[in-house]
């Protein structure tokens, strides 16, 4: 079964591209179960474990799994976060479509993911800064990052695993990431954050407070933006 859902594929394809071949996959907050179905049906993953904290989405996931003929290969569970997923012995964990702070909390509550063999593929809807800050101060490295454009939005997708060595990111990079591999999309992504910081700095200035730190971040974002524009011209 190939999933073709309007407004879904670009983001989901990006997430799928970061799942290592042959992984035993866990998808937290699986919703309709599109990622496990696609991963298993294409042979990317031999089997998967999909969980959701809500009975409604899990019921729809069960219907989709049954329709795809994958009931014997995808285990469904009503569970909060990664509770119970350790018994599945996963090699890859996807947590997508949640706030960055919630994702960090789910990871923090699951010590078994602090293993070099478990890949995390994370797509925060909000608070990417807070998520990266958590990951990079808790020994998660080997970072790969991608951007996905869909329905007028740009999504950040972060792949990492526990290495015990924290990568060094600047304040701006904690916000927007680095090395996305698509200069045009990266430029649009950076432009959005430059406008965000324009508003932040304006608000701080109006309150009479010091915006020096935010101005430094904005300056780095502009430098990265100009670099991406130069790459596009070459």
The string of pLDDT tens digits covering residues 128-145 is 999 999 999 999 999 999
Please indicate, yes or no, if residue 193 is contained in any of the structural domains.
yes
pLDDT in tens, 160-169: 999 999 999 9
Total number of domains in the chain: 2
Please indicate, yes or no, if residue 105 is contained in any of the structural domains.
yes
Please indicate, yes or no, if residue 2 is contained in any of the structural domains.
no
Within 68-218, strands assigned E span 74-78, 92-99, 119-126, 140-150, 153-162
Residues 94 and 194 in one domain: no
In this structure, what CATH number is given to the domain that contains residue 38? Answer: 3.40.50.150
Residues 163 and 200 in one domain: no
Q: Residue 119's domain spans which residues?
A: 9-168
pLDDT value of position 182 = 87
Give the predicted TM-score (pTM) of the model: 0.93
Residues 120 and 206 in one domain: no
Residues 188 and 128 in one domain: no
Residues 56 and 113 in one domain: yes
**Do residues 55 and 76 lie in contact, with contact meaning Cβ atoms separated by under 8 Å?**
no
Residues 138 and 210 in one domain: no
């Amino acid at each position: 079964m190939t999933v073709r859902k309007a407004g879904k594929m670009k983001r989901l394809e990006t997430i799928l591209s970061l799942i290592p071949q042959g992984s035993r996959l866990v998808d937290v907050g699986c919703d309709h179960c599109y990622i496990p179905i696609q991963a298993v049906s294409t042979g990317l993953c031999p089997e998967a474990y999909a969980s959701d904290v809500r009975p409604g989405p899990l019921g729809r996931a069960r219907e989709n799994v049954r329709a795809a003929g994958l009931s014997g290969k995808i285990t469904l569970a009503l569970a909060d976060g990664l509770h119970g997923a350790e018994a599945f012995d996963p090699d890859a964990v996807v947590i997508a479509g949640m706030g960055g702070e919630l994702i960090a909390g789910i990871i923090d509550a699951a010590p078994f993911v602090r293993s070099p063999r478990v890949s995390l593929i994370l797509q925060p809807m909000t608070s990417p800064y807070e998520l990266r800050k958590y990951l990079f101060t808790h020994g998660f490295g080997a970072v790969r990052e991608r951007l996905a454009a869909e329905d007028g939005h740009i999504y950040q997708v972060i792949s990492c695993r526990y290495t015990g060595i924290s990568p060094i990111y600047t304040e701006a990079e904690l916000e927007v990431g680095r090395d996305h591999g698509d200069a045009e999309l990266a430029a649009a992504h950076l432009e959005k954050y430059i406008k965000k910081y324009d508003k932040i700095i304006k608000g701080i200035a109006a309150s009479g407070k010091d915006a020096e730190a935010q101005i430094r971040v904005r300056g780095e974002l502009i430098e990265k933006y100009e670099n991406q524009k130069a790459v596009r011209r070459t």
